Amino acid sequence: MNLNIKTIGVKGLSKQFGQNQVLRGVDFDVSKGEVVVIMGPSGSGKTTLLRSLNFLETPDDGTVSVCGIEVECSGLQRPSRETQKRIREIRQRSAMVFQSFNLFPHMTALQNVMEGPISVKGVARAEATERATRLLDQVGLAAKSNEYPGRLSGGQKQRVAIARALAMEPEVILFDEPTSALDPALREDVLVVMRDLAKRGMTMLIVTHEVRFARDVADRVVFMDGGVVVENAPPQEFFSGTSSRVRQFLNLIET
């Protein structure tokens, strides 16, 4: 990783849904090649933070910078053309993997992985096919390329979703609880792929409760509670720390 190059920068990020203030001035950075895990109790703002980074949710205030592209978040209800352009650029240079896979059910695994490069980036079909085939092999699903999502297990669907994200050649991947919808027996297949991405130097921001993965792979663990960052530390410090809020949370998810 290169700590001098910031892939993600967040300053004073706020988001409110009705009377519920979900994010309360969040600040943090992710460096190029860094793997950062976000943990915290339900309702702490983890997913809203992640979705705000590619503007699937519209923040109310603060600043988001992704891959060197900065967006001032106040006034986004009526964004200027320049701001809209910057948001499109962020989406083209980042990718997101969802808890519920979000695959197109009428497309095969191969077609799902090909679709983004063809429709968004204008990649030629032959090149997109070669790229998708290579990526499905990378995630261990070369033999399933012509299967439809309905014939795949949850773990296989998530690995297709990761291949689909990689097909866009992103500089950073955002993972929103990628294993929480999976049976325990299927989680490890997905985590193996994510460990491989970490070894390859992919910048990743991951919302997860996978403690062992965070211990083994993360460069830092960010703990959120009540819409703010409570802890931000390397895993050895985070898991051996004395914060009562963190200890209570870890006791709950490890029992």
Q: Does the pLDDT at position 182 exceed 80?
A: yes
How far apart are alpha carbons 119 and 102 in whole angstroms?
17
Which residue do the tokens 């969040």 mark? 26
pLDDT at 220 over 90: yes
What are 101's two structure tokens? 């896979």
Cβ 30 vs Cβ 8: under 8 Å: yes
Q: Are 57 and 51 in contact (CB under 8 A)?
A: yes
Residue 181 confidence (pLDDT): 86
Which residues have a Cβ under 8 Å from the Cβ of 115 and sit 6 or more positions away? Answer: 104, 107, 164
The confidence score (pLDDT) of residue 5 equals 77
pLDDT band at 250 (very low <50, low <70, confident <90, very high): confident
> How confident is the model over 210-237, as a mean pLDDT?
94
Which residue's structure tokens are 């809203």? 48
pLDDT given at position 3: 62
Confidence class for position 60, pLDDT limits 50, 70, 90: very high
Residues sharing a CB contact under 8 Å with residue 169, sequence separation 6 or more, in sequence order? none
The pLDDT, as a whole number, for residue 2 is 61
- Note the pLDDT of residue 255: 54
pLDDT above 90 (res 75)? no
Rounded CA gap, 117 and 17, in Å?
34
Query: Where do the domains of the chain lie, and which CATH numbers do they carry?
Result: 2-103+172-254 (3.40.50.300)
With a pLDDT cut of 90, the percent of the chain lying above it is 84
So what's the pLDDT on residue 223? 95
pLDDT, greater one: 99 or 242 = 99
Return mean pLDDT, the chain: 93
What pLDDT does residue 6 have? 86
pLDDT band at 252 (very low <50, low <70, confident <90, very high): confident
How sure is the predictor about 158, in pLDDT bands with cuts at 50, 70 and 90?
A: very high
Q: What is the pLDDT of residues 112-155, one digit of tens each?
A: 999 999 998 899 999 999 999 999 999 999 999 999 999 999 99
Query: What is the average pLDDT across 183-203?
Result: 93
pTM equals 0.93
Q: Could you report the per-residue pLDDT of 34-56, keeping only the tens digit for each?
A: 999 999 999 999 999 999 999 99
Predicted confidence band of residue 174 (pLDDT cuts 50, 70, 90): very high
**SS3 sequence, 11-69?**
EEEEEEECCEEEEEEEEEEEEECCEEEEECCCCCCHHHHHHHHCCCCCCCEEEEEECCE
Cβ atoms of 52 and 15 within 8 Å: the answer is: yes
Residues 95-120 have a mean pLDDT of 95
pLDDT category of residue 1 using cuts at 50, 70 and 90: low
SS3 173: strand
State mean pLDDT over 3-8.
80
